[in-house]
Amino acid sequence: MIEPPRPAERVVRHLKWRMRRLRVETIDALRWGGRTVTLTPAEGLRFGNWLYLWLRAHELTAAGRPRLVLHASGMNEWLTAFPRLQELTLPRDELRFQDQRAWNDREWNQRFGEEFDRTALAAFIHDVLAPQIPRDDPDTVVVNVRRGDYYESERLRARYAFDQAGYLAEALERIGPAPRIRLVSDDPEWCREHLDGLFRSHADEVTYDPRGAVNNFLAIAGARRLIGTNSTFSYWGGYIADAMNADAQIVMPWFHGRGTLRIDAYQADPSWTIIDGYH
């Protein structure tokens, strides 16, 4: 079994990719092709990040400006789960010299209302994602808790960790009572140990989905009542719930991360219930 690259290795690969970008930009003016390819680092991004790039490719292609996203390691399971994404993805060995290149390694097309809007989201979701998403019942509150490398890596913990228990307590109050809570997380064991009492004080039944990125995403994407954390994985669950259900309830934190200053969740739809603090 091949072990996934450690966070430090992903950082090194990402930096090398950015250096290659600087070299390639010098010849971009010579390209004449009729399609544009959004370049991606071979490592470092995940499904939530890629979805913003596929969203942009879908929007531009529909407008008559063909756009594809360059294939990256880890995409295959998602291309299988959502086959329409294959139409927006270019294998690396099919990238041609004449293809126009698009670069956006700063925010990855994630600013709600600036780099995309509800209209583009709804079209992309209904056309590409919705056919594979099973809908949950309205009596269930789905809670998505991002742990994983956010808390295992010292570097990422300093950037993304926040008071999840405090935030979730307020989020559950805001979303109101529910017969069932469905916990979806990349670390359900931690959630069971540290959050089970909180969940059971708000619902008669609490279930914990097993690990598995694709099934986890299908669970949050099919929610009608969703509490998310500071992750693009959660945000996309919110977008899809809104697009598929007129009465969706979405709760998200305003805190996303830390850089030189605090980074607010500019990905969030302002129509959601947004909770500040706990950072």
Question: Which pLDDT does position 54 carry in this prediction?
Answer: 97
Separation of alpha carbons 38 and 68, rounded Å: 6
Q: Which residues pair with 90 in a beta bridge?
A: 70
Q: What is the distance, to the nearest Å, from the Cα of residue 52 to the centroid of all Cα atoms in its chain? A: 8
| CATH code, residues 136-275 | 3.40.50
Question: Which pLDDT does position 3 carry in this prediction?
Answer: 44
What does the pLDDT profile of the chain (279 residues) look like in tens digits?
444 455 566 667 667 766 666 666 666 655 666 789 998 887 778 999 999 999 999 999 999 999 999 999 999 999 999 999 999 999 999 998 888 888 765 568 999 999 999 999 999 999 999 999 999 888 999 999 999 999 999 999 999 999 999 999 999 999 999 999 999 999 999 999 999 999 999 999 999 999 999 999 999 999 999 999 999 999 999 999 999 999 999 999 999 999 888 899 999 999 999 999 998
By residue count, the chain amounts to: 279
Domains of the chain by residue range: 7-131, 136-275
pLDDT (tens digit, 9 = 90+) per residue, 162-219? 999 999 999 999 999 999 999 999 999 999 999 999 999 999 999 999 999 999 999 9
**Two structure tokens written together for 277:** 């603090």
Q: What is the distance, to the nearest Å, from the Cα of residue 66 to the centroid of all Cα atoms in its chain? A: 23
pTM for the model stands at 0.88
Question: Which pLDDT does position 43 carry in this prediction?
Answer: 75
Separation of alpha carbons 167 and 230, rounded Å: 11
**Two structure tokens written together for 68:** 């594809």
What Rg value do the Cα atoms of the chain yield, rounded?
Answer: 19
Letter string b/e over residues 197-210, b meaning 16 or more CB atoms within 10 A of that residue's CB: ebbeebbeebebbe
Question: Which pLDDT does position 149 carry in this prediction?
Answer: 92
Backbone φ and ψ of 229, nearest 5°: -120, -170
* Whether 248 contacts 224, CB under 8 Å: yes
Separation of alpha carbons 197 and 26, rounded Å: 57
